[in-house]
């Protein structure tokens, strides 16, 4: 409270002289939109007028005078034995007389509320579209912006206040109790800002520019490109603009990321996927069917092929970058019957497993290997297969041996071998004399891409693919 000896408070007919008038704490900076919250224990004796509110103007001097906004988030008036809680919006208009404020209450919700001698949480969520008032997380009132000229849009300062107002007791006698003290335990403002947007082509065949649209208060703006092997030139920098130069030899799905700080001290980032020099490896997949058109056996994302069987293998492209002129590479032990558009017809003969890859012309007018994968899992037509959890993997994955038939049982005492090949087909890891149905593969530090896994278990060769993502 502010000490004010013999201050006058009047209801028009009776004047009260007191030693207290009021007090307030005002934020140094104004805020526009956000979550405004405080925890307070209001004084509720006769004459008490505590409030949590925001106010501000457009700084136009008088004359002619500007306009202003005020939002009373939680205002209490104890003018009678009944306590009133109010959520009010005021609009300040240019005054006729610069000595007299021209203020109009344009929206209000006032109701009786019994306040106990405890702390309450008062909150207002103010956006360009809506203002919502809460007490202890209960929605009390809402104001929708439907184009009213008075809807608050200025930067407003936060005020915590305790004032004295005229009051009368239950018998109607004019009286005010002083001193009165309201307690504010905390106040916080979490500002909103426009959603940051990255603008750049989703497919990059030649040098392009990416730009970040972000609120002007943002600082320490940096950017990065990943994975590095997809790009030439700088892969990190600062500012809202980044030059993207694609690699001359690699293609796939890349990513551009922008990071920035806001005045609140919080850090944010926004990312966008970009395809470099053609489709990403997630865009391309195989589909395998038998010669009668039925779908071949597929376990955990890879195809199980039987010996001496005819298959039609299709390469499917679900991405935005078109592909054409397909060239197939299949195991030498297979028989190639014919190709048609995105399909090849083959017979596996006595060797059902093996690598299959497809080169194609992309929408960037370059010829690249769009997919490389392993087919088949052994000589017993898929009685055993492997799974990976998780797949895609980041730091590690669990390889698990499974069986497709109840007649086959995994012998956990049987030794088996493991080989992992990199996306470039080089041997990445080899393990022998493994036992049990599970083995942990550490992928930390591996480059992103598709890794081919080969397991020799009993008389079968099991093959699968593991995707590594960072």
- The domain that holds 251 is classified in CATH as 2.60.40
67 and 24 co-located in one domain? yes
Beta-carbon-side half-sphere exposure of residue 448 (alpha carbons within 13 Å): 16
Which pLDDT belongs to residue 359?
Answer: 94
Total domains in the chain come to 4
Instruction: Answer for the pair 349, 307: CB distance below 8 angstroms, yes or no.
Output: yes
Which pLDDT belongs to residue 63?
Answer: 75
C-alpha to C-alpha distance for 182 and 44, rounded to whole angstroms: 9
Instruction: Answer for the pair 281, 299: CB distance below 8 angstroms, yes or no.
Output: no
Which pLDDT belongs to residue 195?
Answer: 78
Closest C-alpha among 151, 125, 161, 154 to residue 140 = 125
292 and 250 co-located in one domain? no
State how far Cα 271 lies from the chain centre.
10
Instruction: Answer for the pair 225, 254: CB distance below 8 angstroms, yes or no.
Output: yes
Domain final position from 375, 404, 438: 375
316 and 224 co-located in one domain? no
Domain final position from 191, 213, 232: 191
C-alpha to C-alpha distance for 219 and 2, rounded to whole angstroms: 40
β 354-362/323-329 pair status: antiparallel
158 and 300 co-located in one domain? no
In eight-state DSSP terms, residue 105 is: E
| pTM > 0.85 | no
The torsion angles phi and psi of 454, rounded to 5 degrees, stand at -125, 125
Q: What is the CATH number of the domain that holds 177?
A: 2.60.120.200
In eight-state DSSP terms, residue 295 is: B
Residue 396 contacts by C-beta under 8 Å, 6 or more apart in sequence?
A: 440, 441, 442, 443, 444
C-alpha to C-alpha distance for 426 and 399, rounded to whole angstroms: 20
- 10 Å CB burial of residue 332 (0-12, 13-18, 19+) is exposed
Neighbours of 128 (CB within 10 A): 12
330 and 289 co-located in one domain? yes
209 and 100 co-located in one domain? no
In eight-state DSSP terms, residue 294 is: P
Burial 51-82 (b: 16+ CB within 10 A, else e): bbbbbbbeeeeeeebeebbbbbbbbbbbbeee
Alpha-carbon distances, residue 290 vs 68, 123, 146 (angstroms): 75, 64, 61
220 and 137 co-located in one domain? no
DSSP string, 163-184: EE---B-TTS-B--------EE
Neighbours of 132 (CB within 10 A): 17
- 10 Å CB burial of residue 273 (0-12, 13-18, 19+) is exposed
24 and 128 co-located in one domain? yes
49 and 186 co-located in one domain? yes
Closest C-alpha among 70, 220, 85 to residue 131 = 70
C-alpha to C-alpha distance for 134 and 336, rounded to whole angstroms: 71
235: left (phi over 0), alpha (psi -120 to 50) or beta: alpha
* Structural domain that includes position 438: 384-468
Alpha-carbon distances, residue 31 vs 56, 71, 242 (angstroms): 9, 12, 31
Instruction: Answer for the pair 55, 159: CB distance below 8 angstroms, yes or no.
Output: yes
Per DSSP, the three-state class of 11 is coil
Mean pLDDT by 10 residues, the chain (470 residues): 47 52 85 92 91 90 83 93 93 83 89 93 92 96 93 93 78 74 89 84 95 88 96 95 93 94 81 92 90 78 82 93 95 93 91 90 92 71 78 94 74 92 90 94 92 86 84
454 and 327 co-located in one domain? no
Neighbours of 112 (CB within 10 A): 9
Which pLDDT belongs to residue 227?
Answer: 95
In eight-state DSSP terms, residue 255 is: E
In eight-state DSSP terms, residue 143 is: E
DSSP string, 178-211: -----EEEEEEEEE--PPPEEES-SEESS-EEEE
164 and 253 co-located in one domain? no
The torsion angles phi and psi of 229, rounded to 5 degrees, stand at -70, -10
In eight-state DSSP terms, residue 369 is: E
In eight-state DSSP terms, residue 393 is: B
Which pLDDT belongs to residue 383?
Answer: 66
Which pLDDT belongs to residue 245?
Answer: 96
303 and 399 co-located in one domain? no
Which pLDDT belongs to residue 379?
Answer: 42
Domain final position from 228, 248, 276: 276
């Amino acid at each position: 409270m502010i000490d004010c000896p013999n201050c006058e408070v009047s209801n028009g007919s009776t004047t009260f002289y007191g030693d207290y008038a009021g007090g307030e704490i005002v934020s140094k900076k104004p805020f526009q939109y956000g979550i405004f919250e405080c925890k307070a224990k209001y004084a509720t004796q006769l004459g008490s007028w505590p409030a949590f509110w925001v106010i501000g103007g457009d700084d136009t001097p008088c004359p002619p005078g500007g306009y202003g906004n005020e939002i009373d988030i939680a205002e209490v008036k104890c003018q009678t034995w009944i306590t009133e809680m109010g959520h009010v919006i005021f609009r300040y208009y240019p005054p006729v007389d610069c000595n007299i404020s021209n203020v109009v209450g344009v929206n209000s919700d006032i109701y009786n509320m019994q306040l106990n001698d405890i702390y309450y949480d008062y909150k207002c969520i103010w956006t360009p579209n809506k203002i919502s008032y809460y007490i202890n997380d209960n929605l009390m009132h809402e104001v929708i912006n439907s184009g009213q000229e008075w809807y608050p849009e200025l930067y407003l300062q936060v005020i915590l206040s305790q004032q004295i107002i005229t009051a009368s007791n239950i018998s109607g006698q004019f009286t005010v109790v002083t001193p009165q003290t309201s307690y504010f335990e905390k106040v916080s403002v979490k500002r909103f800002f426009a959603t940051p947007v990255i603008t750049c082509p989703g497919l990059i065949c030649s040098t392009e520019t990416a730009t970040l649209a972000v609120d002007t208060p943002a600082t320490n703006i940096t950017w990065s490109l990943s994975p590095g092997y997809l790009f030439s030139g700088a892969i990190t920098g600062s500012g809202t603009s980044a030059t993207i130069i694609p690699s001359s030899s690699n293609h796939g799905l890349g990513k551009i990321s922008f990071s920035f700080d806001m005045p609140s001290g919080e850090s944010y980032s926004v990312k966008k996927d970009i395809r470099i020099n053609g489709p990403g490896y997630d865009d391309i997949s195989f589909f395998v069917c038998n010669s009668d058109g039925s779908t071949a056996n597929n376990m955990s994302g890879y195809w199980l092929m039987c010996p001496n069987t005819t298959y039609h293998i299709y390469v499917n492209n679900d991405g935005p970058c078109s592909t054409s002129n397909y060239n197939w590479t299949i195991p030498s032990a297979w028989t190639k019957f014919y190709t048609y558009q995105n399909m090849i017809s083959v017979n596996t003969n006595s060797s059902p497993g093996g690598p299959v890859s497809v080169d194609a012309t992309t929408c960037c007018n370059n010829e690249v290997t769009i997919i490389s994968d392993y087919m088949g899992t052994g000589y017993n037509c898929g009685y055993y297969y492997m799974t990976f959890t998780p797949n895609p993997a980041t730091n590690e994955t669990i390889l698990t041996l499974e069986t497709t038939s109840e007649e086959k049982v995994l012998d956990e005492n049987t030794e088996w071998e493991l080989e992992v090949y990199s996306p470039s087909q080089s041997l990445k890891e080899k393990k022998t004399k493994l036992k049990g149905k599970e083995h942990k593969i550490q992928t930390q530090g591996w480059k992103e891409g598709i890794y081919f896994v080969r397991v020799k278990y009993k008389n079968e060769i099991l093959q699968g693919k593991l995707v590594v993502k960072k």
